[in-house]
Chain A
């Protein structure tokens, strides 16, 4: 469904991605892990279109993404839940979700999706009218994921959902992601710093370090591999 071929990207002389290739098949749950500065967020931004790769190609459902404007990609079915949540602070929880649903698919399934999201995250139902900027970190993360789901996506991309969250809250978030995996028919691409959580639920994974894929494999292969630890801690 999503194919990256030798994608390179950089900012002002710095190379953030030095040639990354990967495949995400429909229905897969793929995790991308790696230490900070490895280029994970840049990778997502290339898929979303905020960053333009300097080389390489990105194909989604057969279409060359480099020809598609960033604001049109969600309408094709790519939902990006960004790093740091990035909710609309001055809009209410409900309005945030509504914004998620402005895609055609999202509009059609609005009622069911809203229902699903509020069941998945009951605390959002309680705070429906509250301004999103006043929510706690964990609640904002739930809202961001809800927003992503509201667009009825074919590919759900989650960028470091645990960042800045207390461990117990992060656990909750991961469990919700696991439920979404089981209950919905959406392909999931997860980027995480915390290797265990990310690799635990995935079908396949990639380990990124300084802009390159240094390891890839199935869930079982990676979870046992000490090289993952070395990539993070250097020794």
Chain B
């Protein structure tokens, strides 16, 4: 194979990996996008909530083996999807008991103060989840074993017989599922009355009260959904990535970078933001050593925050 063919192949492989990973990052970011982008609640624990989703999926399929009956192909996927509702409940309660005390209209007047308390509270929650996880779940690295993660589809060959790239089956399936989940969410917030009232409550809480919307409840639900979506992403990631209780930290900056890149206030933007981050990360492996992949993300994040804090995508209108 010529050098240029190798280059092309590497590029296509990185691109494919970027898209696949990007879809999952996009899903994670969508969850955070609901919470941070739309409700402007800073949630440091988002990565750890995702971690809980991963463990839930693992226990559902492998640990307690309840879903093993569905077989090794379907089981992990269903487990990942079920992590959604399970973590929805967790997120709902978390908001009701803790987060609501430092958010909402009561605190809106103290602009700076509200955020300060949110940052610190969610940092505390993150620590409890990470270390609680360590305590209860052990520090061994786990993963959900599925035969899909060991095989791949070959795309190609192109350019004569030379260039082709591979799509890992587990990642491919995860990609499709994540698209379906995001699409369902999109339908929910744009077509259903509950979805629209969530958007209204986040858009302008005071006006929402004038409409008769129970804004406190709407915020709890939105927070729960945001948690659930990120948990599903976690469950999907669990099918091919080994994880341990501290895995959340690796993803926190990814998620925030994606949401900010996508433009605060836009759920769709958050998805594309995550997709972009995934692409950047995978494409950066073409020029950077693997260990610096994550540094590349940080650099991108810092660049966005400094140069274009309003993000690249999304059609958010300036808040009055």
Contacts and interface: CB of A to CB of B under 8 A. Distances in A.
Per the CB under 8 Å rule, do A and B touch in the complex?
yes
Interface of A: 48-50, 70-75, 79-82, 84, 86-91, 95, 98-100, 102-103, 131, 133-134, 147, 151
Contact of B212 (A50, A88, A98, A151): A151
B15 interface: no
Count chain B CB atoms within 10 A of each CB in A49, A72, A99 and give the residue with the most: A99
Contact of B207 (A88, A95, A134): A88
Interface string B191-218: 0010011011001101111111111000
Contact of A99 (B196, B206, B265, B316): B196
Given A88-B199, A89-B320, A91-B199, A147 B211 contact: yes
Contacts of A80: 210
Nearest to B196: A95
B320 A98 contact: no
Interface string B286-320: 00000000000000000000000000000111111
Contacts of B207: 82, 86-88
Given A82-B207, A90-B199, A133 B318 contact: yes
12 contacts: A73-B212, A74-B211, A80-B210, A86-B210, A87-B207, A90-B317, A98-B193, A102-B197, A102-B211, A131-B315, A147-B211, A151-B211
A91 B196 contact: yes
A217 B214 CA distance: 38
Chain B interface main SS type: helix
Nearest to B265: A90
Contacts of A71: 208-209, 212-215
Nearest to A48: B210
Contacts of A131: 315, 317
A81 B210 CA distance: 8
Contacts of B199: 88, 90-91, 95
B190 to A, nearest CB: 9
A4 to B, nearest CB: 19
Given A82-B210, A86-B206, A99-B208, 15 more contacts: A71-B214, A80-B210, A81-B210, A87-B207, A88-B200, A89-B204, A89-B319, A89-B320, A90-B203, A90-B265, A91-B196, A99-B200, A133-B317, A133-B318, A147-B211
A102 B213 contact: yes
A203 B298 CA distance: 65
Contacts of B196: 91, 95, 98-99
Contacts of A102: 193, 197, 211-213
A150 to B, nearest CB: 9
Nearest to A106: B212
Contacts of B320: 84, 86, 89
Given A90-B317, A91-B196, A91-B203, A99 B213 contact: yes
A80 B196 CA distance: 20
A14 B246 CA distance: 51
Contacts of B210: 48, 74, 79-82, 86
A84 B320 CA distance: 10
Contacts of B200: 88, 91, 95, 99
Nearest to B266: A90
A219 to B, nearest CB: 28
B284 to A, nearest CB: 33
Contacts of A134: 317
Given A80-B210, A82-B207, A99-B211, A89 B317 contact: yes
Contacts of A70: 209
